[in-house]
């Protein structure tokens, strides 16, 4: 008799569990059905981040339960910090707002940026379709022909803000390679800086990602309008075998460790996120939707047609864990990073 009772209780429990899973999925679908989800992009229209986001939202809705409409809204400023602060403090926390930000954003508090008064570990990271390789390039008529020339002569590089990725990586190169890059801040985005480069008003943009260059300035590459002086990041680009790899140019173990920590943001690729305190079932559904979209052949086809690089996707869970781990680096590395980030 007792055995029968245990079997019955177990069967009832399994039945309840099985019934609960679709109910949870249905709850997410019920929330999103008929809704408009806003994706806030932290760059100006026409840039690489904007193009990627607009390509993504053509495919994302079919992977979200309830198939909501997804629209893009641009909110440029301070290298993505403006968008991060909005998502952290002001945006609805019900799952109806997502964001796409520059990859420096998760690390600005670690680098001691005063404007970055948000906790990246409370933000909910959704994943990235790729990692990034940073480049320093010049116009084809520039007097700078190699990275050694940038060590000898002052070199101007545009940036959106003092703490933006272009400004930060310019200072990293100055610290570790001995370059003489002078940051000129105040450009709304890379498109405006690119126009200044074409006019000869700037030598370069502080950091350009290979994925952005191939998607927005393919004609520059085709027509040999630019000369790439150095590359750096978590991976070396196979398409740039002749371009020097900056980590190979530093010899000190401490400098190598600092370089690895400094280009940690590049491993974040092109990160997407949601505000804090999103209901767990909606967060899980959105993370899955992003990863499914990154692996969607139709999305990858559209991305390839737009010359977007989306070949190294990472999940939201992976991104969340890596950001958390970064905040546990040694105090000595943090101190050096903060001196570079806030000279």
pLDDT tens, the chain, 343 aa long? 434 443 444 444 444 444 555 556 699 999 999 999 999 999 989 888 899 999 999 999 999 999 999 999 999 998 899 999 999 999 999 999 999 999 889 999 998 888 999 999 999 999 999 998 999 999 999 999 999 999 999 999 999 888 788 998 999 999 999 999 999 999 988 889 999 999 999 999 999 989 888 888 999 999 999 999 999 988 889 899 999 999 999 988 889 888 888 888 888 999 999 999 999 999 999 999 999 999 999 999 999 998 888 989 999 999 999 898 888 888 998 999 999 988 7
Task: Examine the domain organization and report whether 150 and 190 are in the same domain.
Answer: yes
Residues 191 and 48 sit within 8 Å (Cβ to Cβ):
no
- Asked if 66 contacts 60 with a C-beta cutoff of 8 angstroms, the reply is no
What pTM did the predictor assign?
A: 0.73
Report yes or no on 104 lying in a domain: yes
Last residue of a domain, one of 217, 233, 265: 265
| Distance, CA of 11 to CA of 125 (rounded, Å) | 37
pLDDT at 170: 95
Q: What is the pLDDT of residue 197?
A: 96
Pair 175, 214 in one domain: yes
Question: Are 88 and 65 contained in the same domain?
Answer: yes
Cβ neighbourhood burial of 151 (10 Å; 0-12, 13-18, 19+): middle
Point out the domain boundary residue: 246, 265, 284. 265
In sequence order, what are the residues at sequence separation of 6 or more whose Cβ sits closer than 8 angstroms to the Cβ of residue 223? Answer: none
Question: How many Å apart are CA 64 and CA 51, to the nearest integer?
Answer: 21
CB 41, CB 75: distance < 8 Å: yes
143/253 same-domain check: yes
Residue 44 included in any domain: yes
**Number of domains, the chain:** 2
Structural domain span for residue 87: 10-131+269-335
241 shares its domain with 287: no
pLDDT on residue 9: 45
Q: What is the CATH number of the domain that holds 241?
A: 3.40.190.10
Say whether both 150 and 123 belong to one domain. Answer: no
4 within a domain of the structure (yes/no): no
């Amino acid at each position: 008799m007792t055995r029968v009772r245990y079997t019955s209780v177990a069967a009832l429990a399994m039945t309840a569990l099985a019934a609960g899973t679709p109910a949870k999925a249905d709850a997410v679908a019920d929330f999103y059905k008929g809704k408009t989800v806003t994706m806030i992009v932290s760059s100006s229209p026409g840039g690489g981040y904007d193009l990627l986001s607009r390509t993504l939202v053509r495919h994302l809705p079919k992977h979200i339960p309830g198939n909501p409409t997804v629209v893009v809204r641009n909110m440029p400023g301070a290298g993505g910090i403006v968008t991060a602060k909005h998502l952290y403090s002001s945006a609805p926390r019900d799952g109806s707002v997502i964001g796409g930000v520059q990859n420096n954003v998760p690390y600005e508090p670690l680098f001691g940026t005063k404007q970055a008064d948000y906790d990246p570990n409370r933000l909910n990271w959704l994943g990235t379709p790729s990692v990034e390789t940073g480049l320093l390039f010049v116009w084809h008529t520039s007097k700078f022909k190699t990275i050694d020339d940038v060590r000898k002569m002052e070199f101007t590089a545009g940036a959106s803000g003092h703490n933006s990725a272009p400004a930060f990586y310019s200072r990293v190169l100055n610290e570790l390679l001995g370059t003489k890059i002078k940051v000129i801040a105040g450009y709304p985005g890379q498109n405006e800086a690119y126009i200044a480069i074409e006019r000869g008003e700037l030598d370069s943009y502080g950091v350009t990602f290979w994925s952005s260059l191939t998607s927005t300035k393919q004609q520059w590459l085709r027509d040999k309008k630019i000369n790439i002086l150095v590359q750096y990041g978590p991976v070396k680009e196979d398409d740039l075998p002749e371009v020097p790899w900056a980590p190979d140019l530093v010899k000190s173990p401490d400098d190598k460790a600092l370089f690895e920590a400094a280009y940690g943001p590049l491993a974040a690729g092109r990160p997407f996120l949601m505000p804090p305190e999103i209901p767990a079932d909606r967060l899980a559904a959105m993370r899955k939707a992003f990863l499914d979209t990154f692996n969607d052949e139709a999305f990858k086809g559209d991305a390839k047609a737009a010359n977007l690089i989306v070949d190294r996707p990472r999940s939201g869970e992976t991104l969340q864990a890596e950001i958390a781990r970064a905040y546990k680096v040694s105090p000595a590395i943090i101190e050096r990073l903060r001196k570079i980030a806030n000279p």
